[in-house]
Structure 1
Amino acid sequence: MKNFMIGMYGKFDEIKFKRDYRDDFYGIEACLFEDEKDIEKLINETDRNGIKFGIHFPLRAGISNLRDPQFLSLDEDIRRKSYKHIEEELDYLKYKGAKPEYILFHYPKPVILKNDFNMTNWRFADKSEYTYEADYPIKEFEKYSENLFAWLSEKSIEYNFIPVLEFDALNRYVCEEGFLETLLEKYKAVKLCLDTGRLHLQSKIDSDFNERDIINRFARYTEVVHLWNVKVSGNLENSHFPALPSLKLEDGWAPIENYLRVITKVNENVKIMFEHKSDLISDEELDNCYSWISSIIEN
């Protein structure tokens, strides 16, 4: 379990930490802390106990209207402000003495959707967070993506962190073209996050999407797996439910074991971040979740 992580969202939750964390875990992923005292507690506790932590950007809540910077926007002013926003947060982290192992951003942002994408079960905070392929040329997507990769690579050296891009809803520019692998080979500092719930959900609502192909292609570039399950049988149910061996594929749950076997076969050092609502299950079930995932990885 040396590569297992738990999530901390909104605050440093001591009750969750005592219940969910294990001594042999790797660390914590933190996001949107609302109180400066909790940020200081995160830094102090992890430093004192030798616990690693990553950041799901941003660490601080309330510093922008939207959580995710829109660094691929076709609007030059929005792109410029997005980069400025990220750098200001990097400067803040440096000032506070925070030393995250990685900082994670959603990609692409804005999300570029196929024109008939089923939005019923996909959550966006604001209409500006997505656009459509018909309105976003692939050449622009490639250009602004490379600008992002180059910039993050420079900042990773300057501020000493691993830039991680978490796949949001994916478009045919990623699914059918090979330019993203080219960027990952060229800018090796930039890594990926595969989110099991998102992959499963898109596979169920988008007939053109093959999540197994995406996992096979990008597992080697993956730094973090966001692990959670979701039931999709008509509508989305039980979002961010813990991954348990009792959850059956025929009922609409994700094939978690298959996902992890493919990923860890080519990338045994990947971090497993339990992005689930652990309060939905008992202590015994939580232990069962950890043991099951550990057995998959070890085998």
Structure 2
Amino acid sequence: MIGQYGSYDFRKFERDFRKGFYGIEACLLQSEEDIFALKMAAQEHDFQIGIHFPLRNRGLVIRDALFLASDENERNQAFQSALEELEAIYRLGLRPAYILFHYPKPVILDDCVDWSKWHFSSPREYVYESEYAFEEFTQRSEELFVWMTERSRQYGFVPVLEFDALNRYVYASDALEELLKKYDLIRLCLDTGRLFLQEKRDPSFRSVPVMRKYAKYAEVIHLWNLQFGEGFIKLRYPVLPEQRQEDGWAPIAEYLQIIKEENPNAKIQFEHRSELVDDEELERCYHWVSEFLAEDPY
């Protein structure tokens, strides 16, 4: 898959999309014209649509729904805004294969980690672990899973939760895995760059075990690389086989091997900035990933 964020970019589609790709993940489209173009392209080229909530850019400071907020009014607002978005999507006739939401939101942060360089649009987007009990996390998460399951059956889409920053409630307990087993319509999105970035920021976090733990539940993999040295050197870079860990790149080959072993049917969404490479490098990116995950290139 490829992404279309902010607008439906015809030039990006012509350069990045390939025959045989599953589809396009769309997010924060600016206008009705962009949505119409996406719908028409899906019909013409026979691809599926995934939506990264929200589909439409409404100019909000916080784009994510704060489903796990401690404040009841904040939670109610999150569920209401998500429902309004679902109804609007289906009135438009898009019929997405999946709709993706960030999780957990608010993000639950380890008090001992320096999060100053993690991007947040507002302090309302996060809460520290010391202020948010494990029991509240499990209760609010199950409420979300119940709601998502009901909406999935009502509207006919796969609900996907994309990990934001994670604390030990997710990576050091089985609570989320138990919910994924109990509510098996709910799936995950694993973001390779985001997981590697947290490993570099959080000394308690290891991305490979998290990938191994949750890959089997993934509907979508957001695939991109970053090179981490003294700060960011390259961000949202297309994955290429020559990117070595000793040079500060994420262990993409190890991630892909886990995906191949645990969930070879997961959708690969190239969430990179393709303009950072030339046409030959972009083709090598596609070819390497396809060859790695399957016996035959796409």
TM-score, normalization: structure 1? 0.97
Query: Is the alpha carbon distance of 1:63 and 1:97 closer, same or farther for their aligned partners in structure 2, counting shifts above 3 Å?
Result: farther
Displacement after TM superposition at 1:121 (Å): 3.0
Query: SS of the residue aligned with 2:51?
Result: strand
CA distances 1:122-155 after superposition (whole Å, capped 9, x unpaired): 1111111111000001100100000000100000
Partner of 1:257: 253
Q: Number of aligned pairs?
A: 295
Pick one of 17, 21, 38 that aligns with 1:21. Answer: 17
Pick one of 165, 186, 190 that aligns with 1:190. Answer: 186
Pick one of 263, 267, 274 that aligns with 2:270. Answer: 274
Pick one of 78, 88, 100 that aligns with 1:92. Answer: 88
- Aligned-partner residue type, residue 61 of structure 1: N
CA contact (8 A) 1:121 1:236 kept: no
Counterparts of 1:46 and 1:285, CA distance in 2: 26
Q: Which runs of 5+ in 1 are unaligned?
A: none
Displacement after TM superposition at 1:49 (Å): 2.1
Partner of 2:153: 157
Counterparts of 1:216 and 1:193, CA distance in 2: 13
Counterparts of 2:187 and 2:223, CA distance in 1: 17
Displacement after TM superposition at 1:120 (Å): 3.6
Pick one of 66, 73, 77 that aligns with 1:70. Answer: 66
Q: Which runs of 5+ in 2 are unaligned?
A: none
- Aligned-partner residue type, residue 287 of structure 2: S
Query: SS of the residue aligned with 1:157?
Result: helix
Partner of 2:114: 118
Partner of 1:177: 173
CA contact (8 A) 1:121 1:235 kept: no
Aligned residue runs from structure 1 range 1-299, under 5 A: 5-62=1-58, 64-299=60-295
Bigger CA drift: 62-71 or 162-171?
Answer: 62-71
Bigger CA drift: 274-283 or 38-47?
Answer: 38-47
Query: SS of the residue aligned with 1:226?
Result: strand
Displacement after TM superposition at 1:164 (Å): 0.2
Runs of 4+ off more than 2 Å: none
Query: Is the alpha carbon distance of 1:253 and 1:120 closer, same or farther for their aligned partners in structure 2, counting shifts above 3 Å?
Result: farther
CA contact (8 A) 2:160 2:188 kept: yes
CA contact (8 A) 2:61 2:122 kept: no
Counterparts of 1:40 and 1:208, CA distance in 2: 45
CA distances 1:87-136 after superposition (whole Å, capped 9, x unpaired): 00001011111110000000000000000222243111111111100000
Q: Which of structures 1 and 2 has the larger relative contact order (alpha carbons within 8 angstroms, sep 6+)? A: 1
Displacement after TM superposition at 1:63 (Å): 5.7
Bigger CA drift: 84-93 or 208-217?
Answer: 208-217
CA distances 1:6-65 after superposition (whole Å, capped 9, x unpaired): 000011100000000001111100000001111011112102321111000000001633
- State the identity %: 48
CA distances 1:158-184 after superposition (whole Å, capped 9, x unpaired): 011000000110001111110101000
- Aligned-partner residue type, residue 183 of structure 1: L
Displacement after TM superposition at 1:246 (Å): 1.8
